[in-house]
């Protein structure tokens, strides 16, 4: 998506950061700066992020995702995956870290392996948001929302908490601008992905009539769209 005139339009989600009861959610640099004591370098953060993402994007976790995102991931593949998302001016990648645990270890004793293990242990999930211009409005956007959790954290209500926090941040962002900024959030979910549907419905998303028939899995699974309208 890079290379279009969208590069001139700043992302509405730039600098997105929010906290929930159990999670701290923000972009790559501030997330990984936590484990980057001393040698502050973007390249080291990306290297650490690649290792962490490679452990998260297992075959099981990526099964409901589009075919070209299916795992497994080596750190090199994860690095390219991150670079593609971060390099797209209208895509935002957020990292959800458990607030408890995973603090930066003692600077004198730590090494790359310790950092990777500490960061992986506290990395709960990812949010991927794509911004599209809203019809009839140059300034408002529609967001397409994706998310995933590391399998260690499934079934604890954390995906619901993550989406709730993201929606709250979007509402707050709208309150900062008289015309509003984010018109709607849409989540596309494979029909068989009952947990993900439940997460969206619990957060106020409603199934869109005339559902998308787009195929997104090797089994030609149908996708259902759920929408949360934030502005009328
Ligand atoms: C989808 C995903 C994010 C859900 O994570 P999670 O930790 O299970 O989510 P939560 O615990 O917050 O909530 C899941 C809800 O679905 C329900 N649920 C889980 N499995 C279910 C099933 N097979 N059938 C019906 N409901 C189910 C849970 O009971 C819970 O609802 P409740 O709070 O009312 O009890 C996680 O499984 C994941 O990362 N999957 C792989 C990637 C993915 O599918 N991403 C979404 C793409 S659209």
26 Cα: distance to centroid of ligand 1 (angstroms): 22
96 CB near ligand 1 (under 6 Å): no
Q: How confident is the model at residue 220 (pLDDT cuts 50, 70, 90)?
A: very low
Indicate which residue's Cα is closest to atom 2 of ligand 1.
196
* Per-residue pLDDT, 132: 94
- Residues 54-63 pLDDT 10s: 999 999 999 9
Q: How confident is the model at residue 210 (pLDDT cuts 50, 70, 90)?
A: low
- Is it the case that residue 4 has pLDDT exceeding 50? no
- Is it the case that residue 83 has pLDDT exceeding 60? yes
202 Cα: distance to centroid of ligand 1 (angstroms): 11
CB 184 within 8 A of CB 231: yes
* Per-residue pLDDT, 41: 67
What's the domain count of the chain? 1
- Is it the case that residue 42 has pLDDT exceeding 80? no
Instruction: List the CATH number of the domain containing 13.
Output: 3.40.630.30
* Host domain of residue 12: 5-229
* Per-residue pLDDT, 10: 81
| Arithmetic mean of pLDDT, 56-77 | 96
Give me the chain's average pLDDT, please: 87
Closest atom of ligand 1 to CA, residue 148: 39
| Arithmetic mean of pLDDT, 195-217 | 80
155 CB near ligand 1 (under 6 Å): yes
* Per-residue pLDDT, 9: 67
C-alpha pair distances (Å), 182 with each of 30, 128, 143, 187, 228: 24, 15, 7, 14, 11
E strands present in the chain: 17-19, 23-26, 91-98, 123-133, 141-149, 182-190, 206-207, 223-229
CB 222 within 8 A of CB 190: yes
- Is it the case that residue 2 has pLDDT exceeding 50? no
Ligand 1 pocket test, pick from 95, 146, 159, 193 with the greatest ligand atom count within 8 Å of Cβ, gives: 159
* Per-residue pLDDT, 136: 78
62 vs 100, residue with greater confidence? 62
- Residues 159-177 pLDDT 10s: 999 999 999 999 999 999 8
Q: How confident is the model at residue 101 (pLDDT cuts 50, 70, 90)?
A: low
Q: How confident is the model at residue 5 (pLDDT cuts 50, 70, 90)?
A: very low
149 CB near ligand 1 (under 6 Å): yes
61 CB near ligand 1 (under 6 Å): yes
Hey, CA dihedral for 145, 146, 152, 154, is it positive or negative?
Answer: positive
| pLDDT above 70: percentage of residues in the chain | 84
- Is it the case that residue 3 has pLDDT exceeding 90? no
Tokens of 140: 């408002």
């Amino acid at each position: 998506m890079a290379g279009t005139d969208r590069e001139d339009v700043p992302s509405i989600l730039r600098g997105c950061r929010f906290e929930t009861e159990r999670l701290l959610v923000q972009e790559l640099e501030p997330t990984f700066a936590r484990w980057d004591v001393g040698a502050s370098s973007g390249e080291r953060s990306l290297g650490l992020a690649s290792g962490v993402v490679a452990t998260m994007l297992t075959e099981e976790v990526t099964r409901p995702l589009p075919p070209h995102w299916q795992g497994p991931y080596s750190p090199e593949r994860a690095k390219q995956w991150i670079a593609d998302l971060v390099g797209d001016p209208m895509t935002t990648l957020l990292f959800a870290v458990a607030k408890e645990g995973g603090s930066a270890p003692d600077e004198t004793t730590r090494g790359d392996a310790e950092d990777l293990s500490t960061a992986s242990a506290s990395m709960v999930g990812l949010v991927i948001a794509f911004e599209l211009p809203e019809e009839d409005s140059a300034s408002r956007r529609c967001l397409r929302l994706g998310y995933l959790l590391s399998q260690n954290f499934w079934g604890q209500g954390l995906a619901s908490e993550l989406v709730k926090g993201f929606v709250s941040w979007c509402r707050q962002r709208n309150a900062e601008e008289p015309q509003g900024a984010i018109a709607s959030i849409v989540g596309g979910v494979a029909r068989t992905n009952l947990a993900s549907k439940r997460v969206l419905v619990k957060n106020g998303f409603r199934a869109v009539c005339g559902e998308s028939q787009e195929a997104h899995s090797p089994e030609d699974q149908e996708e259902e769209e759920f929408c949360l309208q934030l502005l009328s």
